[in-house]
Structure formats: C-alpha cells, structure tokens
Amino acid sequence: MPANQLFTAFSHVRLWIFDLDNTLYPPEARLFDQIEARMTEWVSKALGLAHADADRLRRDYWARYGTTLAGLMAEHGVEPHAYLDEVHAISLEHLEPDPSLRRAIADLPGRRIVHTNGSARHAERVLEARGLSGIFDAVYGVEHAGFRPKPEPAAFAEVLARDGGRAEEAAIFEDDARNLAAPHAMGMRTVHVAPLPQPAPHIHHHTDDLPGFLASLTPARAESASEGARP
C-alpha cells in the first residue's frame, strides 16, 4: 500500500499500542528462547516434573490459556510475581539501540503505549536496551491487566480502560497474529509485525520493517509520497 494511502488509513489513530517481545526488537535476538527455557525450568522445579514433561505442559498452557503463567495460575494457583521475576531474569546483551525506530515512534501523533504479556519491569529493561526509553506515555505489563493475558478480550479492555483510550481511535502492533483478533473485533486498526505475513480477516496490515512502516504514517512522509506520485 502506498505511503499516502497508509497515512489515510491511520489518520484517525490517537492511541498507538505496541507489543514488546519480537515486536519492538527483531526475532533474531531470540530473547524468548531464554524466557521459554526459564519457564520450563520453573515449571519443572515447581511441579516436580521431568524437563520434557515440563516443556510440554508449558506449551500446552500457552496454547490453551494465552500464556504459561495464566495456565499455572488457573491450574495450580501459582503466585505470579515471583514467577515473572524469575523467567524474565535474562541477558539482553544481544539487543542494540535502534535510532530509526525511536524516531518513527516518537513522531507518531497521540499517545504511545506498550502492552505486553510479560511484566512491566521486563518491558522497561528491554526498552532501555533498545534505546526506546522515554518515548512511551505508559508501559502496561500483564499485572496491569489483572494477570489476564492477550489474546483474552478482557486484557485489552482493561488496558484501554486504564489508559483512557477508545478502541476506535487505536492501532495495535503485534508479532502474534492471534493477539490481533480481539483488537480487530473491538474496532482497532491491526498490524502484524513478523517476517512473513499470515493473511487473516482480523489483520489489516503486515510489515517486516516496523520503522519504515511507522515512518510512512507521519504527515511529512505521506506528503512526500503524494508529491512523488504527481506527474
């Protein structure tokens, strides 16, 4: 879609909602490999399971409940805070600042927020490592949604209520396509951020270049594209 058409499609947006993991940093950083390994280790120790059984249970809870934590809370009454601290105690040495992404986000009109299924503290560490601190108006972890995870509609509704936003004026950027279904139904503009597209009725746009996509949504870039198309 040409930049001027993209600008028009997002011209109503006043709230920009960004997922964190594999969205505000490239999947090649493989941070979630570390998190998943720590999740499996935690499940193994807490429930007394062999490593392979713990890994299968982790994956099953993620598929059925949205996050492993949600499954652990529902099935085992796990206290979430210590779990979140433990599984997010990872190395961020593979992350690098991204000045182009910082500029593109900072130039967006309206409020800019992060909504992650991880903890807010994890998000703040990642944002700092990516050079993105200070450009978001709020950072919401799973704790701010009452530990209800995406893709549950209640998770998005809680964050919207906390932030005072309206779904009809929001756009959301996510690497997990299933997490865009509820926002689409609520009236948000949805963007799948991933190496490969996964066409679906609840996905309005796909990009594998988040800085470039966001830059096309600013008035100056849209005007430049429009002028370039004139004969």
User: What are 217's two structure tokens?
Assistant: 């949504």
**pLDDT exceeds cutoff 50 at 225:** no
Full set of structural domains in the chain with CATH:
3-27+96-229 (3.40.50.1000), 31-87 (1.10.150.450)
Exposed/middle/buried for residue 67 (C-beta within 10 Å: 0-12, 13-18, 19+) = buried
Grade residue 219 by pLDDT with cuts at 50, 70 and 90: low
Length of the chain as a residue count: 231
**pLDDT exceeds cutoff 90 at 77:** yes
pTM: predicted TM-score of the whole model, two decimal places: 0.91
Grade residue 218 by pLDDT with cuts at 50, 70 and 90: confident
pLDDT in tens, 118-139: 999 999 999 999 999 999 999 9
What is the model's pLDDT at position 2? Answer: 67
Quote the percentage of the chain above a pLDDT of 90.
90
What is the model's pLDDT at position 224? Answer: 46
Beta bridge partners of 105: none
Phi, psi dihedral angles at 102 (to 5 degrees): -60, -45
Average model confidence (pLDDT) across the chain: 93
CB atoms near residue 139 (< 10 Å): 21
Helix axes 68-76, 80-87, angle to 10 degrees: 150
**Cβ atoms of 47 and 144 closer than 8 Å:** no
